[in-house]
Amino acid sequence: MSAEELISIITPAYNAARFVGETIQSVQNQTHRNWEMLIVDDCSKDDTRALLEQHAAKDPRIRPIFQERNGGPARARNSALRAARSPLVAYLDSDDLWLPDKLTRQLRFMRSQRHEFTYTGFRRISVDAAKVGRYRKLVARLRYNDLLKDTAITTSTVMIDRAMTGDFEMPVTYYDDFATWLLILKRGHVAHGLDEDLTRYRVVGASVSRNKLKSAKMVWLAYRNIEQLSLPRSAWCFTNYACRAWFKYRGL
C-alpha cells in the first residue's frame, strides 16, 4: 500500500538555524509517517549542526549529513540522494514548509495515476510566515520543451520515483534543480502537477533566487551552455520564461 512506502526527503542546509526547526516540524506533522529526512549541512557557520543533532537525537527518522567542505546546494542534494534508502524522493528546502497532507496526497496522486515525477501547488509566505500569498493555478503537465519556457515547478513541491525515471544526480550549476528537471524530462518523462495548495515557499530577502538579474543570466546560460540551445530558440524560451516568472513572483 502507498501509505507504507518510505519517502526519502532531500534537504540541503546552509546557515539554516533560523528556519530549519520549523521545516522539520512541518515534516513531523505529515499524515504520511513513513519517511526519512536527509538534511545535509553544507558547513554552516551558525548553529545548524547543533540543531540537527538535537532533532536527530529525538527522532531517528531525521538523518543529518555533515559535508566536509562547503560545496553548494547541488553537492549537498547529491549527498542526500546517494544516502537515501528509498527510490522515492521528495525535495524540501531548509526554509520552506509542507502542509500536513502534502506527502499523503501527492503519493496517492502518483500511485493512482502511475506518475513518475510530480509537483504540487504552493503559496509564498513572508519571512516570519505572517503573510501568505495568493494561490496560482498549476500547470497540469510539463514535457521538456514546456519546462524550457516555464517556471511552474517549485523545488519544495517535487516528488520523483527513481525506480521509474532511472537514477540521476543534480548537475553542479547555479540552477541545479531546474537543470535536473530538464535532465529527467529530456529522457522522455513527463512532470505532472497536482493542483492543490500543499507547500509554503518562504521569501527570504538574502536567498540566492531573489537576485533577479543574476537569476536571469543563469537561466540564459543554462539554455546556451547546458541545454545547448540555438540562439533563436534560447531567446524564444527566455522570453516566455521571463514573462511567466514575472507573473509568478509579482507581489508576495
Position 250 confidence tier, pLDDT thresholds 50, 70, 90: low
Asked whether residue 243 carries a pLDDT value surpassing 90, the answer given is no
- Which carries the bigger pLDDT value, residue 83 or residue 175? 83
**What does R_g of the chain's alpha carbons equal in angstroms?**
17
Residue 226 or residue 131, greater confidence: 131
Average confidence (pLDDT) over 128-147? 93
For 192, the 3-state DSSP assignment is: strand
Q: What's the pLDDT score for residue 208?
A: 43
Statement: residue 199 has pLDDT above 70: yes
| Longest Cα–Cα distance in the chain | 54
For residue range 160-184, list pLDDT tens digits in order.
Answer: 999 999 999 999 998 899 999 999 9
The residue-averaged pLDDT of 121-127 equals 95
pLDDT (mean) for 120-133: 94
Cα–Cα distance for residue pair 238/149, rounded to 1 Å: 7
Top-level CATH class of 2-207? alpha beta
The DSSP symbol for 205 reads: T
Q: In whole angstroms, what is the distance from residue 94 CA to residue 80 CA? A: 13
- Please say whether the beta carbons of 99 and 197 come within 8 A: yes
Looking at the DSSP bridge assignments, the partners of residue 78 are none
Q: What does the alpha-carbon distance between residue 28 and residue 23 come to, in Å, rounded to a whole number?
A: 9
Burial class (CB within 10 angstroms; exposed 0-12, middle 13-18, buried 19+) of 120: buried
- pLDDT at site 227: 82
Percent of the chain with pLDDT over 90: 75
SS3 category, 88 = strand
pTM metric for this prediction? 0.89
CA angle (208 as vertex; 202, 213 as ends), nearest 5: 115
Residue ranges of domains in the chain:
2-207
pLDDT tens figures, 14-51: 999 999 999 999 999 999 999 999 999 999 999 999 99
61 has pLDDT over 80: yes
Residue-level pLDDT at 240: 72
pLDDT tens readout for residues 85-105: 999 999 999 999 999 999 999
Alpha helices in the chain (DSSP H): 20-28, 48-58, 73-83, 102-113, 144-147, 162-165, 176-186, 212-221, 231-249
Segment 206-228, tens digit of pLDDT? 544 446 677 777 787 778 888 88
Average pLDDT of every residue of the chain: 91
